[in-house]
Structure 1
Amino acid sequence: MSDLNISRNAEIPDALRIARAKASPNLGPRLLFFSGGSALNGISRRLKAYTHNSAHLITPFDSGGSSQILRLAFDMPAVGDLRSRLMALADESDLGQPDIFALFNHRLPAEASRDELEAEFRALLDGSHKLMRDVFQPMRSLILRPLHAFAQDMPDGFDLRHASIGNLILAGGYLTNERALEPVLFLMSKMVAVQGTVRAIVDENLQIGAELADGSHIVGQRNLTGKETAPLSQSIRRVYLSDGEREIDPRKVRLPKRNRRLIESADLICYPPGSLFTSVIANLLPQRVGTSIAARSVPKVYVPSLGTDPECVGLDLSGQVAALLSALRRDAGEDCPTGKLLSLVLYDARSVEPKAIRDVAADHAVTCVPADLASADRPDRYDPDRLCDALVSLT
């Protein structure tokens, strides 16, 4: 059971906490999410009404889509999930930067000839493109600098189809900052007035590997999610960090001090909905993540995905909790009490069978708190307001 003594009958939502947060989101609670992918973007966009102090530690190990094209061309971490979370948390009010926001979100056409793609890209580079003209100086020059750096190092034959301009700017900034992500993430955050903090869990170019139930191994996030390749036919036993060929000792991949400080100052730690292994647990693999979480006496909440997670073959809710705890204990120690790593499971009362809740309690002695969280028209999706209400209520 959690050392925070959270009641099974905890009142969710807490109207007073919610009203206080919405009245002064700049003073809102410090919610920390270990996240990746797009599952949390809609919720993050709504979260801005409650707090401007949320922190998002994102896996840079994605190996699919346009991020993979950049990774292969420049031997760099994935930036797509980082950019999309920055945009989700950007200030979209009249005080924000809508022209820069539109530019960073723009994608080149998916269906266009090479000549057409190169012509539009040249227009962006020389400033004649409408989206670039709409950005006033000196911001335009700040944006063009990394974009020109990208263009200078862009290999012959680089596939610009459906390329995100924001991703290209991040890639160029990475190259011009001695192959470091943090400076360009910070700059992009300031340009669109991000209402929160978005960082890569580590600033390293690595892959995710998985050992399956039969002892075989698969390397690469895109090979595990069931989106770009066939879904897994057996369960994942564990995931690990890889250089693309072999497993890496996690002691060689250390959580940066700046990210440890985010954990140390959090009012609530959330393991949010999303692909369990490649979007959530992947962030828990570097050294010092588990020990940093265990040292913080705040609510630590698992919000399981609604619908079907292709990565969770053969895993019920208790199995998902077990996978989460196992990953955390690799760093925190096998004898680390459950309550120091996970306080409660917050679940949609209509989507989880009573037996699943009993199994979690019996297997892990973890409190399970029901709430009305699913969207009324999409029962496989969380309603952003309801989930934000619930998380703020637990701080």
Structure 2
Amino acid sequence: MADGSWGPAALRSPFLRFPFLPMAAGHCNGVCSRRAISSFSSSPNTSAPPSLLVFSGGTAFNGVIEELKKVTTQVAHVLPVSDDGGSTAEIVRVLGGPAVGDIRSRCLRLSDESTFEALAVRRLLGHRLSLDASEAKTEWYEIVEGEHYLWNGVSQPYRETIRAFLVYFQNQILRRSNESFCFSNGSIGNFFFAGARIFFQSLDAAIFLFSRVSEIPTESLVLPVISTNDRLTLGCELWDGTIIRGQNEISHPTSGCMEPINKDCTSTTALPSRIKRVFYMSSEGTNLLHEVFPAANPTVLEQLGKVDCIVYAMGSLFTSICPSLVLHGIGEAIASRSIPKVLLLNGSHDRETTGLSASGFVSAITDALNRTYGDPDKSLKKLPSDYINSLLVPRDGQVTVDVHHLADQGIFHVVTVDSVHVPKVGTIFDPKCLIKALADLISAHKDSMLHPRAIAHNS
């Protein structure tokens, strides 16, 4: 290294000197966001911004984060830690531990952009190395030695803090001399995250550090659904009895561990049968098909008891949403709340959901929360309407909205939201329109709680 002083004391020193600064705080048109905000400030009793808990993965919901921040920053983002594709797979293979790719992705989207330095930090932590393995390794050494142009604009305290954990990550790789680490397409944010997690021996501490470095609002929580230092492996059972091991093998199988994941819904072969359920599998020992039952993050359960609205975001249904729902306590907590519980329906099908209608999405979420096909002693018997009471649907989407079957499930509130078409992705929600629809829905629920007789009379 250019500077040989990076021992344990140096790792602690920049962290202790790090400045923990105060944080900055139907039909749609260009004023959606202003209308959404005003819907929460129309009366003294509803002036506080709403609090949400969002179940999502690391990609699809990212596109609406900027609009959501205009309405509220009081959001608990609950994310799975079982991703095993891309550079995350290489980190887990060599160093073990939970996958941090989805968490890193959401932290970056929530990070501050208000200053030149904030943008520089975001650019650094969002950078990916070259696909060419040799070029990637050369670039990595330039970054870890502090000589890369990406450090431009990053002040000394931030530089020392970030670089310390990148160096620590590098040291951990070198200690595994029997493993050759491939830096191809590697995410600097993932490397920083992994270094912090191993140093603190805590995923929560790593998230806290990353959140402060990237200046995420303190009221915005990024929560792993399972708080663990262990590797987690997702599996699924198909209706024909086939068992598939690994999140990436379920959703976007690739031929190489480090190649970019192509999420084009037409780019992968179809599953031999529909997915029956997802579950967690042993990552250690000889019986790797053994099912395990990790505990839900207590902070997630705590937030479920507090928030004003629960959202099941668009994205990979079985590998992004359901892994957070199958854990003990999640279904119980959601069913106990009388608040808006909103499903954001996908605008297009993927390998996991081919042929599913809207009611099929609802059934999959209900089965996951009820743990219907797992251990019968741990299953619930709740109705779909106990978990979902509203559906937001992108206009002109691929997924059939079978309103009669939804009504049979007890779901009568279905709202169509304006959409946009994105090449290689398909139909997605127009972000402004989606957040306006969500804001109106929460506001209407608050009004019904404040004035139940007037609402009942008008209806």
TM > 0.5: yes
1:375, CA displacement in angstroms? 1.5
Identity of aligned pairs, percent? 30
Q: Offset at 1:11?
A: 10
**Native 8 Å contact 1:80 1:167 kept in 2:** yes
- Identify the residue that residue 33 of structure 1 maps to in structure 2: 54
> d(CA) in 2 for partners of 1:367 and 1:168?
46
Which moves more between the two structures, 205-214 or 372-381?
372-381
- From 399, 408, 414, the equivalent of 1:369 is 414
Whole-angstrom distance in 2 between the partners of 1:182 and 1:78 = 13
- For the structure 1 residues 212 and 263, does the alpha-carbon distance in structure 2 shift closer, same or farther, using more than 3 Å as the test? same
Cα distance in 2 for partners of 1:21, 1:236 equals 40
Q: CA deviation at 1:249?
A: 4.1
Structure 1 segment 382-393 matched on structure 2, within 5 A: 382-393=429-440
The answer for the alignment partner of 1:166 in structure 2 is 189
2:203 and 2:227 in contact (8 A); partners too: yes
Q: CA deviation at 1:226?
A: 3.8
CA distance in 2, matches of 1:219, 1:161: 24
Structure 1 residue 393, shift from structure 2 partner: 1.5
Matches within 5 A, 1:10-159: 17-20=36-39, 28-94=49-115, 97-111=118-132, 114=134, 116-154=135-173, 155=176, 156-159=179-182
Residues 263-322 of structure 1 show CA distances to partners (whole Å, capped at 9, x for unaligned) of 112111011100100000111122211111122221111111111121013422222211
1:233-253 superposed Cα distances (whole Å, 9 cap, x missing partner):
210111111124224343xx1
1:381 maps onto 2:428 in alignment? yes
- Whole-angstrom CA distance in 1 between matches of 2:225 and 2:301: 10
Is 1:199 the counterpart of 2:199? The answer is: no
Q: How many Å separate the matches in 1 of 2:355 and 2:273?
A: 7
User: What TM-score, normalized to structure 1?
Assistant: 0.88
How many residues matched?
A: 378
Q: Which residue of 2 aligns with 1:309?
A: 350
- Please list the CA deviations of residues 70-123 of structure 1 after superposition, one character each: whole Å capped at 9, or x if unmatched: 1111111111111111111112223871111111011111135x2x43332222
Q: How far apart in 2 are the matches of 1:103 and 1:223?
A: 30
Q: Which of the numbers 323, 334, 341 marks the counterpart of 1:293? A: 334
* More off after superposition, 273-282 vs 284-293: 284-293
Equivalent in 248, 254, 263 of residue 304 of structure 2:
263
- Deviation (angstroms), 1:134: 2.8
CA contact (8 A) 2:358 2:400 kept: no
Cα contact 1:104–1:164 (8 A) shared by 2: yes
In structure 1, how many angstroms separate the alpha carbons of the residues matched to 2:395 and 2:191? 42
Q: Which residue of structure 2 aligns with residue 232 of structure 1? A: 271
Change (3 A) 1:14 1:143: closer
Question: What is the Cα deviation at residue 132 of structure 1?
Answer: 2.5
RMSD value over aligned CA atoms?
Answer: 2.7
For the Cα contact (< 8 Å) 1:117–1:161, is it kept in 2?
yes
Q: Which moved more, 1:137-146 or 1:119-128?
A: 119-128
Q: Secondary structure at the match of 1:91?
A: coil
For residues 315-326 of structure 1, the aligned pairs below 5 Å read: 315-326=356-367
Q: CA deviation at 1:193?
A: 1.6
TM-score (norm. length: structure 2)? 0.76
Amino acid at match of 1:64: G
- Match for residue 177 of structure 1? 200
What is the Cα deviation at residue 220 of structure 1?
A: 0.6
SS of the residue corresponding to residue 48 of structure 1 reads: helix
Letter aligned with residue 161 of structure 1: S
User: Matched residues in 2 for 1:306 and 1:215: separation?
Assistant: 29
Question: Gaps spanning 5+ residues in structure 2: where?
Answer: 1-25, 255-267, 373-377, 443-459
Q: State the structure with bigger RCO (CA 8 A, min sep 6), 1 or 2.
A: 1
Q: Which moved more, 1:80-89 or 1:121-130?
A: 121-130
Which segment drifts farther, 228-237 or 274-283? Answer: 228-237
Match in the other structure for 1:5: none
Larger mean CA deviation between 86-95 and 261-270 belongs to 86-95
Q: Whole-Å Cα distance in 1 between the matches of residues 215 and 203 of structure 2?
A: 18
**2:365 aligned with 1:343:** no
TM-aligned CA deviation for residue 137 of structure 1: 2.2
Change (3 A) 1:96 1:90: farther
Shift of 1:45: 2.9
CA 1:134–1:315 in structure 2 vs 1: closer, same or farther (change >3 Å)?
Answer: same
Q: Take 1:355 and 1:94, find their aligned partners in 2: how far apart are those partners? A: 44
After superposition, give the CA deviation of every residue in 1:128-170 in whole Å (9 maximum; x if it has no partner): 2222253112122211221111100114521111111100000
The one-character-per-residue Cα deviations of 1:25-84 (angstroms, maximum 9, x if unpaired) are x95321211111311111123311221111110011011111111111111111111111
Unpaired runs of at least 5, structure 1: 1-9
- For residues 7-36 of structure 1, what are the alpha-carbon distances to aligned partners after superposition, in whole Å with 9 as ceiling and x for unaligned? xxx99989754325599xx95321211111
Opposite residue 224 of structure 2, the aligned amino acid is: A
Change (3 A) 1:323 1:293: same
Larger Cα Rg: Structure 1 or Structure 2? Answer: 2
**Structure 1's 34 and 354: CA in aligned 2 closer, same or farther, altered over 3 A?**
closer
* CA contact 1:224–1:231 (8 Å) conserved in 2: no
Change (3 A) 1:279 1:354: closer
* Distance in structure 2 (CA, Å) of the matches to 1:150 and 1:360: 49
TM-aligned CA deviation for residue 346 of structure 1: 1.7
Shifted more, 271-280 versus 314-323: the winner is: 314-323
Relative to 1, partners in 2 of residues 1:201 and 1:344: Cα closer, same or farther, differing over 3 Å?
Answer: same
